[in-house]
Amino acid sequence: MIAVLKVTAIFVLTAVAEIVGCWLVLLWRKEGGTVWLLLPAAISLAAFAWLLTLHPVASGRIYAAYGGIYVATALVWLVLVDNGRLNRIDLLGGGLILLGALVMVAGHWRV
C-alpha cells in the first residue's frame, strides 16, 4: 500500500509540474504576462518530464495511469487556482477517470 501511495504522490507532483508549466505559458501568451514567465515554465515542464522517468514500468502504462491523476489534479487546480466550481459531470467524470488510474496502479503493477 505504501508503494501505491508513493507512485500516486509522484503522479500528483508530475501533474502539478505540467499544469504549472502550461499555466505560466498561458499567463504569458493570453494574459499579457512578461516573457520571463517562460523561464519557470520551461523549468516546470522539464521537471514534469523528469518526474515521469521515476516510475518503474513501461512508459505507455505510465502515461495511461498518469492521465487519470492529471485529470483529478486539473480539477483541483480549477477550484483552488481558477476559482471555478465543479458540477456533477466534473465529479462523475473525474471520479471514473481517477478510479481507472488507481486500478491500473494498484492492480496491474502490483507495486
Cα separation, 108 vs 111, in Å, equals: 8
pTM: 0.81
pLDDT at position 67 is 87
pLDDT tens sequence across 50-93: 998 887 776 777 778 888 889 999 999 999 999 999 999 999 99
Of the candidates 52, 49, 43, the residue with the CA atom closest to the CA atom of residue 25: 43
CA–CA gap between residue 52 and residue 5 (Å, rounded): 16
Q: Where exactly are the structural domains of the chain?
A: 2-108
The CA distance from 85 to 80, in Å, is 9
Confidence of residue 108 (pLDDT cuts 50, 70, 90): low
| Residue-wise pLDDT tens digits, 17-51 | 999 999 999 999 988 889 999 999 999 999 999 99
